[in-house]
Structure 1
């Protein structure tokens, strides 16, 4: 029996998926790791998996090969090693380097989380500024924070709404825009600066 047959008869697809960090619910459904999935569109059976959104389909070896970008032989050997079937064959150096790299889907999810966190924090800040620093009389000087809120709030609310309810293509557009020219990093630094300034003002007041 070769390594392919050994793996397929010894390891079912669901237990392999869960071993490599894919959370499968009791109905066999999970978020597809091969595209930026928001609602579970993949079903993992004992002998194969199938995503109804992106069409990815295969057996336990295909799953690991696609997860880590490995040739099917390396994927089979990885499964055998990880599940204790072939303890004398650890992953090769090339294979290990690939395993250490995050999948594209993982990177997308992490970037989306970072973008959402920063944009949500900025949206709440602008909402607060629009109320706190609004002119009380026509003669009052316009506070720069109120002006900033008026200028950016609608746009930031739109971006946050897209990350919450948009499809994968719309969310990806927002993520790519935020990552272009270090917009995300600049926003994070700006929010941190505002937080420190407001904390300093609060200490002076006390």
Structure 2
């Protein structure tokens, strides 16, 4: 008896978030080194104008890598202004520990399986709960929309941070650092996504009202 082989299963279609991430990451990869440097300086000026940073005693931030909007100038400016700056340390389960930024010499390149090398602080680890003491949390992302909804890279690390803040009853200001063209009309959202209060770009700051 001749049997008909089963039809191959159709591959799953990428989600709207996945497609948008691909598009935004491709645009970032096309940026020139000179453009990255210029944008980083302008982004630092924009972010420093935020009252959420001016009035903060502790800021949870991050070290940009690759073609992300540059944060190194901003980190040094915050530290010079007397802020306590916490930087993340990636844990094996993609959660984040934290340590205090003590200047560029305190950063060490760290390899993580399946990820690009990260620059992480080499000081004492403070534990994942340390972020709950921050007055302002600077979030990486790929886009934010007019409601303040943020599109992350999909790793889940900052979803855990935001959930931890919520569980602790902590309400720091949430600010995303992006390029100008990454402020978009709408990003796909899921029930666990949290709106942010503001986005800083090289051109300035965009603020959001509370999302319904």
Q: What interval of TM-score do these two structures reach, taking the shorter chain for normalisation? A: under 0.3
Q: Give the structure with higher Rg (CA).
A: 1
Query: What TM-score results when the alignment is normalised by the length of structure 1?
Result: 0.24
Query: What TM-score results when the alignment is normalised by the length of structure 2?
Result: 0.23
Higher strand share: 2
Q: Using CA pairs under 8 Å that are at least 6 residues apart, name the structure with larger relative contact order, 1 or 2.
A: 2
